[in-house]
Structure 1
């Protein structure tokens, strides 16, 4: 009888120990969602310090981001009076000027160019919620030295709020 009681007691304590060691953790925590992320000059950049303005009767969208490299600005659309509204589409960095990316660092100013290419894709623009989603990538050249470039890859915008001006 003592042996049975001892075995049951050990089994009970083993069960209590195993269940108390359980965790509510289902694995590594996912990174908190951010409004802007990109690989800039090989460095991961993630931030929520993003502002956007839709102007020219919806014809031009400007997005401003605070990064460790300096302020980054992206624009799509046109400031022409008869410009079509910014829409879900790919805006190619070319001679039309409907897409531009620039970074103004302390050391130099970098800007996209038709020769180096790139694009900004608007994947969703919600006029009711006043939010925009998209992706982007380009090679930016130093405005004073074309051989000095910065690559921006894997760029993404998530739920960026914009104001209408």
Structure 2
């Protein structure tokens, strides 16, 4: 870990902020007020000189077993902003404003994102269902429908476990 002012402190060149967010790999976990402004408020930064870093990347801890074996519970992971284009098939950190984890009271989870869409006669594409799938088959996928569209947000994409 490195702190601002130290010699190797070069934001998004040699280091990324460490978030206090703990993403659930079970259900939902601890809410972070504003991930977009994380760098402005980070007290600690992780030095990751072996990676090509870009603004918006951050490190967060993932707790829970639903993404095992890829993401062991307690792992620190590198995340990046969600790239443009389809989210289908990506491992995403997702925020849901209407579902909370009874243990932590938070609203974030890391899952494999699956989207089902319907193309209308006019060519309009409508998302009909989102499935947030665990990698560990002992856990149940989280099903969301079109009524959840305004309360669900893909926050970041998993780059790798550190």
Give the structure-1-normalised TM-score. Answer: 0.29
The structure that is strand-richer by fraction is 1
Higher normalized contact order (CA 8 Å, seq sep 6+, divided by chain length): 2
Q: Which has the larger radius of gyration?
A: 1
Give the structure-2-normalised TM-score. Answer: 0.29
